[in-house]
Amino acid sequence: MKIEQLYTKCLAQGAYYIESNGEAAIIDPLREVNQYIQLAKESGATIKYIFETHFHADFVSGHVTLAKETGATIVYGPNAKTSFDAHIATDCEEFKVGDLTIRVIHTPGHTLESSCYLLIDKEGNEQAIFTGDTLFLGDVGRPDLAQKGDLTQEDLAGMLFDSLRNKIMPLSDDLTVYPGHGAGSACGKNMSKETVGNLGDQKKTNYALRADMTKEEFITELTDGLTPPPAYFPLNVQLNKNGYEDISQVISKGKKALSLADFKEKRAQEGVLVLDVRHQKDFSLGHVPDSIFIGLDGSFAPWVGAIIKDINTPVLLVTPQGREEETIIRLARVGFDNVIGYLDGGIQTWVDGGELTAIVGFVTANELAKSEKPLIFDVRKDGEFNASHIDGAIHVPLSKLEENIDKFPETDLNYVHCAGGYRSVIAISILKKHGIHSSVDVLGGYGKIKNEDFAFAEGACSMGG
């Protein structure tokens, strides 16, 4: 028996490769499927099943492409409806993978079709459970992402309570838990950084599995503090339900090296977005005017989905040399398939062509501390801000920035910071695209600020957005 977790940090997502006696199954694959095909090839195994725990909202799964490439059967839990061939399992239905048995456990709540997969060895012993977004380490799935018709998030939270109590908690404490996500995912709010756990430990430490918790308490705690999901989530659900273009075609379409003249021509077209994915320091030192920064080496895909509202937006890329295809793939993971080319030679081509560049001004935390009555904007998340912030700072979370543009002065100098400097540069790039060029980045963000002589406060700020 072989179980391999393939964890993608950018999405905080775990896919799984299971193999036994020449047969394999994949759980929740990413869109680029060659890695799973290669694993099976190396072992001489045949991929027999592709198990989906639910219709994912935060990424486009590789189930359709993988089934086409391997002939494997796509399996969903009860209530799933797809536009492609799939086996819609019944609760407790079992599937053989070599000497192993995989049992479907229907656990509605995160979504109506959400299901976990219980792994049973050839002796009949229950070994592991793949919980998708039903149960995380430290948390459970949020109940407001399903395409749920008349059902409220409270209705779904109540279903999830029943699923956990009646289907998951009665299982053995010794079960290994393989969740769909870890810390950093928008599919929960209190996830552990660990990516593999133990069910007995979760029963002891996970707030949502407290034995003395009532359904009403569960619903209240689960729904309290939920932030709105990113706009691209329902669009990804539809792609996962209805199918999508093969990623090889997306790469072929997007991986077009454009001359400066061709890049400028496309940039001038209505609705085209220039996306710069270099490091924030490089972007700050010089970039194509009106481009948006979202760096590859941060939480790239989730911020793309949060910032670029329409997955059909035509995108031109400015990338580090050699990372063009990687960028296209990582955009496609969250359904952004409309890359129309990249600037051949990157920003140097723009500079060598005599084109003007824009910059992001910056100060150190020490310089900011010496400023007289500085106007400071904090773009961190609510929890970060409430834990500690500069007294008097205006809180505008990056995810809500565009709806709070009017809080930023067009001419008066202001200072923007996040935790370390990644999100603040995203924020300033958005402001500049909206014609606001008065914002300055605080280098090192709150990580540096907290060591300086500021007055600090805790809790919410009435000026926040």
**CA 21 – CA 37 distance, rounded (Å):** 16
Instruction: Give residue limits of the domains in the chain.
Output: 2-223, 245-352, 362-457
**CA 441 – CA 446 distance, rounded (Å):** 11
pLDDT digits (tens, 9 = 90+) for 22-58: 999 999 999 999 999 999 999 999 999 999 999 999 9
Q: What CATH superfamily is the domain 245-352?
A: Rhodanese-like domain (3.40.250.10)
Contacts of 58 (CB under 8 A, 6+ apart): 11, 13, 181, 185, 186, 187, 230, 233, 236, 302, 305, 334
Does 358 score more than 90 pLDDT?
yes
Residue 416 half-sphere exposure toward CB, CA atoms < 13 A: 30
**CA 42 – CA 40 distance, rounded (Å):** 5
Annotate 138-148 with b (16+ C-beta within 10 A) or e (fewer).
Answer: bbbbbbbbbee
Q: Based on C-alpha coordinates, what's the Rg of the chain?
A: 24
**CA 221 – CA 157 distance, rounded (Å):** 10
User: 2-223 and 362-457 share one CATH topology?
Assistant: no
pLDDT digits (tens, 9 = 90+) for 138-170: 999 999 987 667 899 999 999 999 999 999 999
Q: Which residues pair with 293 in a beta bridge?
A: 276
Measured CA angle at 334 (ends 329, 337), to 5 deg: 60
pLDDT digits (tens, 9 = 90+) for 409-442: 999 999 999 999 999 999 999 999 999 999 999 9
| Rounded-to-10 torsion of CA 378, 382, 383, 385 | 20
Q: How far is CA 423 from CA 279, 297, 391, 452, in A?
A: 12, 12, 20, 21
DSSP class of 138: S
pLDDT digits (tens, 9 = 90+) for 80-113: 999 999 999 999 999 999 999 999 999 999 999 9
Contacts of 102 (CB under 8 A, 6+ apart): 18, 25, 49, 51, 94, 95, 96, 117, 118, 119, 120
pTM: 0.92
Q: Are 128 and 100 in contact (CB under 8 A)?
A: no
User: Percent of the chain having pLDDT more than 70?
Assistant: 98
**CA 50 – CA 48 distance, rounded (Å):** 7
Q: Which architecture characterizes domain 362-457 according to CATH?
A: 3-Layer(aba) Sandwich (3.40)
Q: How far is CA 185 from CA 60, 102, 181, 219, 402, in A?
A: 14, 26, 6, 20, 22
Helix axes 300-307, 422-433, angle to 10 degrees: 30
The widest CA-to-CA distance across the chain, in whole angstroms, is 72
Does 463 score more than 50 pLDDT?
no
- Reported as a pLDDT band with limits 50, 70 and 90, residue 462 is very low
Q: Which fold has domain 2-223?
A: Metallo-beta-lactamase; Chain A (3.60.15)
